[in-house]
Homo-oligomer: A and B are copies of this chain.
Amino acid sequence: MENAVTTRLGADLLLDSLYQAGARICFANPGTTELGLVSALARDGRIRCVLSLFEGVCTGAADGYARVSGEVPLTLLHLGPGFANGIANLHNARRAGSRIVNLIGDHATWHLAYDAPLTSDIRSLAAPVSRAVITIDRPQAIDACVAQAFAATNLEEGGAATLVIPTDVVDAPAPDAVQPVLPAPYRPTSVSEAIVDDAARALSKAGESIVLLGGNALTERGIRAGQAICTHLGARLLMEPYPAIVTLGGDLPVVERQAYFPDDVIAQMGAARVVLAGARMPISYFGYEGWPSQLVPDERLVRLAEPGEDAVAALEALAARLKAAPAAARSTETPGGSGHSEAALTPASVVEEVLVQLPQDAIISLEGSTLGGPWLRNAHRARRHRVMTNTGGAIGQGLPCAVGAALAAPEARIVSLQSDGSAQYTLQSLWTMAREGLKVTIIVAANHRYAILQTELTRAAVPLDDAVVASLTKLDKPRVDWVALAQGYGVEARRVATNGELAAALEHGLALDGPLLIQAELP
């Protein structure tokens, strides 16, 4: 391009530092205070920019990109209110340990005191979802602040760091080149031998055991090591309830998912000791009167690897210590398909059809329990694939995560198994899918209600047919037409009500070089 600016500016130095630190993609929804950065992104040209129509799409896409690639994507968001729209998915990203650097353009430092309309307390808004909030207060600090931000993404279990960049810093002449401060590459913390020894000792005692996998243990190596230990001990292999990303299917063993409600988890865990391998200890998702928060007592917990620690290495070390032989590959299964072609869809029949058609090395973005529950009970019957789930419970994560996954793994097919209620929070994702031609096949589980709330209310003996209760949990007046919404964003779409219709639509979608939305009508 013609370069309209002849002086090298703070923004150019910032972009250069970000690139050198490893940033290759920026999920953007800029405003006026970000235009200096937009110009610099144009001049620099090395960082791919992906526009979304809503900030929650940017942050959710960054989360999905980070989960799939392990790299550090950028977001570019507008001041406090623009950032605020991205908080929900940054909450999920924090729980996923996704390493992200957020860029927020701020008012010029000399303009802040005037409390202009868009002024707000960015630090207070950003802190709950950031390992660090760093304001770059002068051009000389740019390099060091970028390094500090990348370093902060490695803290604890990983997560986002937020850089606040006033426009006068962006627009100032860049200081003379200084030696760039490159952040240390990310490596999970190692588990000590003593911890492994302790775990081996605990497992040598009589009694049932469960190995509960989480974090980086939910990869092939971690699962194989866990399987070897379980086979050796006669133990059960479980996974945390909401993995950031887990490899499943093919010849990998069945990995049972930790249950949701506290009574179910308590029944599932029985009297077993539970080896925590990258997973948090089992707790109740919400606090229910009469049920404990902590669902396995301390004396039955064996803490092998905390979240953020290298659970794979710890499991392999433990397997070696126990002299557990590598487990045999499981023989792969051939799913039978969704059943009678004319029959009305059920969540189970949707899952059966996906089990049949899911291509090798696909990535599933899973949001909502309607399809999420049955999928994770049956995923071992599909070809080898990866699954991302909603780690933090902030809804509106599934579609954006699919966007990010598709950009991180352009060769993979992305399948989004998505509840209709949660899809509404970030439906603008569809536009970015169309714009970027992403190979995402979405199945919207259209049951036209907040099913999880109805389940909870039923457990609490509240009548669902009360007018007020119904008005706050049913989404049937009017029913949302997802085919129309998708078309509004330039995404091809089909509505299906029977197994046969779904099979045909899915086959069509999985062959498309772009997105397809399937509205699956469910009871």
Contacts and interface: CB of A to CB of B under 8 A. Distances in A.
Contact of A38 (B472, B478, B485): B472
A387 to B, nearest CB: 17
B286 A33 contact: yes
Interface stretch (A181-189, A363-371, A449-457): A449-457
Given A38-B469, A128-B125, A463 B1 contact: yes
Q: Which of A91, A113, A289 has the most CB of B within 10 A?
A: A91
A128 B32 CA distance: 21
A31 to B, nearest CB: 7
A428 interface: yes
B286 A107 contact: yes
Interface string A124-145: 1101110000000000000000
Nearest to A293: B114
B42 A1 contact: no
A254 to B, nearest CB: 24
Contacts of A396: 85
A461 interface: yes
B469 A284 contact: no
Number of copies: 2
Contacts of A1: 463, 466-467
Contacts of A472: 28, 30, 38, 41, 49, 51
A128 B121 contact: yes
Interface string A405-427: 00000000000000001001101
Interface in A284-299: 284-287, 289, 293-294
Given A81-B394, A431-B480, A286 B116 contact: yes
Interface of A: 1-2, 4, 28, 30-33, 35, 38-39, 41-42, 45, 49, 51, 53-54, 56, 80-82, 84-85, 87-88, 91-92, 95, 107-108, 110-111, 113-114, 116-118, 120-121, 124-125, 127-129, 167-168, 171, 242, 283-287, 289, 293-294, 391-396, 421, 424-425, 427-428, 431, 434-435, 452-453, 456-457, 460-463, 466-469, 471-473, 475, 477-485, 487-490
